[in-house]
Amino acid sequence: MTGFGSSSASFNSKTISVEIKSVNSKFFDPVFRLPSLYREKEFELRSELAKHLERGKMDFAITIDQQELPKKSNINSALVKSYYTELKEISSEVGVIDTDILSIVMKFPDVLSSEKQIVSDEEWAVVKDAIDKAVASFQEFRMKEGNVLEKDLQERISSILELLIKIESLEDGRVSGIRQRLGRAIEEISGNPDIDRNRLEQEMIYYIEKLDISEEKVRLRSHCDFFLGTIKSESSAGKKLSFISQEIGREINTIGSKANDAGIQKLVVGMKDELEKVKEQLLNIL
């Protein structure tokens, strides 16, 4: 499920911005983009977010807008002099005159050092408050999207139930047509003395039972009602709804294979189309 949430806060001369984006994923998969000052807090953030955000491929970013100039770096003078002297001696030995030795030296490791900044408890409390607000905004975004998805799923399952009612309205004609065809077939073979009457009756009963869709209709209606009830559940039900949709599909397919009627087959195609759209939407449900 997609989502977006953001928040900002101020601490001393800093403006701290928090932004959360996500796309659908089967797992909780956050990617953090943090200032170096907060990088040591990544594990804590990961654990905290996992409590509130169940799954999704997420991009979690914190940025700092510093209004004052950063602290000056310290120069290791002794190390600079040592590097400079050595490079100058080597330059003379090989006969190369380089007037830019100092700028080269300043790029060497450990020449420049800055004091390690530590996040104070006061600052981190402000950052956490901004994160909580961003998460709340993110959840609100997801809730709105979820309501739209819920309405769409309900309408499509209701459409399947409406098509089932239409199938039931065609059943009388279907049964009558089957009886007529069977009656003509029986008349054609009834005069044949080699026909085993008992076996014929058994075959006819088997054929009629094979075409009966009463149980499939009951199960399909039950599965659809179960789906509509589950979607209103407070807890995450994406996987459960996916399992129910598989059962709905199984009953629709069976009705189609047993229908033996062009009108019912058309309605079954409509059911399959609605169910396919349901399955596509379920990929975005938690």
Residue span of the structural domain in which 265 resides: 150-282
Structure tokens, 249: 């599909």
Three-state DSSP class for 116? coil
Q: Are residues 163 and 102 in the same domain?
A: no
Number of folded domains that form the chain: 2
Q: Are residues 96 and 207 in the same domain?
A: no
Q: Please report the pLDDT score of residue 2 as a whole number.
A: 78
> Which CATH number is 204's domain given?
1.20.120
CB atoms within 10 A of CB 75: 12
Give the pLDDT confidence of 229-246 residue by residue, as tens digits.
988 876 667 788 999 999
Contact assessment for residue 28 and residue 56, using Cβ atoms and an 8 Å cutoff: yes
Asked if residue 256 belongs to a domain, the reply is yes
Q: Are residues 154 and 229 in the same domain?
A: yes
Q: Are residues 86 and 167 in the same domain?
A: no
Q: Please report the pLDDT score of residue 210 as a whole number.
A: 66
Asked if residue 84 belongs to a domain, the reply is yes
Asked if residue 34 belongs to a domain, the reply is no
Sequence-distant (6+) residues with CB within 8 A of 283 are: 24
Q: Are residues 157 and 229 in the same domain?
A: yes
The Cα angle at residue 162 between residues 156 and 164, in degrees rounded to 5:
110
Averaged pLDDT, groups of 10, the chain, 286 residues long: 86 89 82 87 88 83 74 72 82 74 76 68 91 91 87 94 90 65 63 60 60 87 93 76 93 87 89 93 77
Exposure string of 99-127, with b = 16+ CB inside 10 Å and e = fewer, is eebeeebeeeeebeeeeeeeeeeebeebb
Structure tokens, 36: 């170096």
Q: Please report the pLDDT score of residue 109 as a whole number.
A: 73
Please give the DSSP secondary-structure letter assigned to residue 115.
P
Give the pLDDT confidence of 165-220 residue by residue, as tens digits.
998 888 766 666 666 666 666 666 666 656 665 665 566 655 666 677 888 999 99
Question: Of the candidates 113, 134, 167, which is a domain's last residue?
Answer: 113
φ and ψ of 168, to 5 deg: -60, -35
Where do the H-state alpha helices sit in the chain? 42-52, 77-94, 101-105, 121-190, 197-211, 214-230, 238-259, 262-282
CB atoms within 10 A of CB 156: 19
Q: Please report the pLDDT score of residue 60 as a whole number.
A: 92
Asked if residue 223 belongs to a domain, the reply is yes
Reference 274, options 150, 165, 161; nearest CA is 161
Question: Of the candidates 63, 96, 113, which is a domain's last residue?
Answer: 113
Q: Are residues 196 and 108 in the same domain?
A: no
Structure tokens, 82: 């040592």
CB atoms within 10 A of CB 163: 22
Asked if residue 193 belongs to a domain, the reply is yes
Q: Please report the pLDDT score of residue 22 as a whole number.
A: 87
Sign of CA dihedral 159, 164, 169, 175: positive
φ and ψ of 32, to 5 deg: -100, 135
Question: Of the candidates 63, 86, 113, which is a domain's last residue?
Answer: 113
Give the β-pairing of 14-23 and 56-66.
antiparallel
pTM of the prediction? 0.63
Q: Please report the pLDDT score of residue 83 as a whole number.
A: 82
Q: Are residues 101 and 191 in the same domain?
A: no
Q: Please report the pLDDT score of residue 37 as a whole number.
A: 82
Q: Are residues 83 and 164 in the same domain?
A: no
Q: Are residues 271 and 161 in the same domain?
A: yes
**Angstrom distance (rounded) from CA 3 to CA 60:** 12
